[in-house]
Amino acid sequence: MPPSAAPIATLGVVTDTHIPDRVNNLHPALIPGLRAAGVERILHAGDISTRWVLDELAQVAPVTAVQGNRDWLYRVDLPKTVQFEVAGVKVGLAHGHGTWFTYWWDKFQFVILGYRFQRYRKVLEKSCPGARVIVYGHTHTAENRWEDGVLYFNPGSASFSFRPEDARPTYGLLRFYPGGRVEGEILPLDGAQVVNGSWQACP
């Protein structure tokens, strides 16, 4: 496949916006970034917290979203997982927290051991069986890794990180090419930071 080949489809990927429980609005660079990329579909991997976030993203492109562990508090009624095909590639979308048992067990392990991707891989394989691309959120840690022929893609939180080394909020792009090739890209959201629950310009 020549590197200059144009993608068949470009998807924007967003997760863990946490509005209004962590911040009051979408990052000011997110909508312009998605528009500039020419995305034809947006995936939101949960912890949306209020439905108008999906309405705002839908002004750029149609949105497919799943429910995160925080969304039930705000009565955002969405499926827990969605599977579909893009350019012949099976894609699974889930938040990544699994059951309430796995959610709390992971919380305990996170405190003791810190972040470990392999803990989430087991949950994701059960949530999205047979998917070649698994899109998820929950961890607030960006991942763009292939393992055993599967792309595990987490764009990182579009609002904040749990870890100092991932301080900047991020979002992602998935590009699908002829022949089943898929590429993921993680992009930073620059120019603003959360101060007292609102986005303020960085000094």
pLDDT at 165: 57
Domains, the chain, with CATH or none: 9-201 (3.60.21.10)
pLDDT at 117: 75
pLDDT at 190: 92
pLDDT digits (tens, 9 = 90+) for 64-108: 999 998 887 667 789 999 999 999 999 999 998 767 657 666 666
User: Model-level pTM?
Assistant: 0.89
pLDDT digits (tens, 9 = 90+) for 24-55: 999 999 999 999 999 999 999 999 988 899 99
Task: Give the chain as a DSSP string.
Answer: --TTPPPSEEEEEE----TTTT-SS--TTHHHHHHHHT-SEEEE-S---STHHHHHHTTTS-EEE---TTGGGGT----SEEEEEETTEEEEEE-S--SHHHHHHHHHHHHHH---HHHHHHHHHHHSTT-SEEE--SSS--EEEEETTEEEEE---SS--SSGGG-S-EEEEEEE-GGG-EEEEEEE--SEEEETTEEEE--
